[in-house]
Structure 1
Amino acid sequence: MPLDDDLNAALSPLHFGFTAPMWGGAIQLQISRIKPVEDLAIRQISAWKAIQAGNPSADHLAAQAEFEAALAIDPEADRAFLVLLHPTVSRDAVFLVIAIRGLLSAAEQMASQASALGKGAALKAAVVRFTNAQPLAKRFRDVIIHFDEYAVGGGRDRGKATKPEEGMGVGQDDDGRIHVTWGGHTMNLLQAAEDALTLWRDLNREFWGKLHTSTQELPVKDEPAQ
């Protein structure tokens, strides 16, 4: 189905510059920085657990051997996969949360623009799917951006904290997966990022996919005679 002219005009400003494409690319960039840390943590922690349980696989033993070799060179080699020791992953996590919310803002505005024309059902459904899957994305970005208010007992969502004493943090679960936490709430960071990329693909399909179809359906003009 081609993109209608009125919908094209309504959505185009949200597909260029500091909008959906930029935020989608930012999410991909942060995933590329964070995922190797999580993957290494999952592999190493799995190896530790299997060895302690007395049933390690060949891969578990190889992972432990690699870690011991790394420790022989650097006594702090575990900082490569333990978030609390890693030099950059906590900062990358903060920027990923901001990028996820930035993409969601673009998606919400696109849905609003399209709904005003009576054509926003698919975009609205994409936004709802994401917010249902990741209800904390908005809140965590608010806490990050307005840290100054939350630090002194304020903040729009302060009342939604089940553990008011718990500030924004980045950590790992028992399997090594990276989580963002605040006020008693936890969000699996890379799962939220993958859900955001699904939303991004939905946005692109509703704009670029239909725009491409519209372009394909334009009549081809004969080349002027030389």
Structure 2
Amino acid sequence: MEQLSCQLFHSDCQIIMRDLANKNQQVDHIITDPPYAISQHNNFHTLNNPRKGVDFGTWDWGFDPAFWLESAYPLLASNGSMIIFCSYRFISQITHKIESLGGVVKDIMVWQKANPMPRNIHRRYVQDMEFIIWAVKSKKSKWVFNKPEDKPYQRGFFQTPTLLGKERTAHPTQKPIRLMHEIIKIHTHPGQLIFDPFMGVGSTGVASLDLNRRFLGCEQDLQWFELAQIRLNLG
């Protein structure tokens, strides 16, 4: 389904990326939130009322957090950036893969949730942070970095609430539009093409169109794909 500045694919992103490569199509930036591969069964079988494990969906079990980059990296334009959300568990794995392909990791940013969901508060720290890898195509890249004029410098630290009100959908790892606005404004220019191979319910796409960027998104789960279509006024 497509309109002038937006194209969505209901498919495995590996298939779409191979097809784009065969057509010699490039994208200006890749901004994506892949599965974190952190779903797990609980480890408290001895408790009378064991806590449930973490299950984000079938797409999160056994996901290789770096393999997809082999297909994505060749699509990135010479001055393009990759912005990749990830768990702290896989920062080194993803950065190593990017560097092995010829990319350059510039920074690791942090998203801190202003209103995290507490759990096991007497046994563990509140998990209020997620990590974001910023990489560019090569050492020769003239990457985009739009420092906000009202700041003396830009920290690699973003703090927003998690989803509130009508923005929330059923997707368990949906990112706030406000967060995506901030990232897209800093790392891209109007009119550029942003690709999200794991678009979920389309938050990157909504923010891209809000800011006059073009968007290309891929999602293999039909439920999330249909929600993305609605949110992007393509349903």
State the TM-score, normalizing by the size of structure 1.
Answer: 0.24
The structure with the largest strand share of the pair is 2
Greater Cα radius of gyration, structure 1 or 2: 1
State the TM-score, normalizing by the size of structure 2.
Answer: 0.24
The structure with the largest helix share of the pair is 1
